[in-house]
Amino acid sequence: MNILYGTLGYILITFPYAIIWHMKLFHPLYLKWGYFGEHPSFLLGFTSMIFQGAILSYGYQFLRIDHQSILNGISYSLSLGLFFWSCHVLAAMAKNANLRNWQYFLLETLYLTGQFTFFGILISRIHS
């Protein structure tokens, strides 16, 4: 049941957070950089979040830690978030010259830090 709750929690945190961050707060910058194609697919983005939330929630149960500890939840989530950051931010910068700037680097780093910190708190609360 914790995997289901973790997955749902990840979606409830990440989907609105992503829309507010990318489509409202910093939308002009992301458009300028060509971050989005002409027609972004919210369904595919939502589907990716289902997979991410399920994988993160599934993996947490196998750690030999106090699962109720907020610090452990954040440490776990940020560790995997760092891996995700390298695949998401650095790889995007490698592929798209428009993204090779300090603003993109900083915004996406802050965004992902928030996303995975919030999830780390949530997953520890789910296990308490």
pLDDT digits (tens, 9 = 90+) for 65-124: 776 789 999 999 999 999 999 999 999 999 999 999 999 999 999 999 999 999 999 999
pLDDT digits (tens, 9 = 90+) for 46-55: 999 999 999 9
Give the list of residues 6+ apart from residue 50 with CB closer than 8 angstroms, or none: 7, 11
Per-residue pLDDT, 105:
98
Helix 102-126 and helix 2-18: axis angle, to 10°? 150
Give the list of residues 6+ apart from residue 76 with CB closer than 8 angstroms, or none: 59, 60, 63, 65, 120, 123
pLDDT digits (tens, 9 = 90+) for 27-46: 999 999 999 877 889 899 99
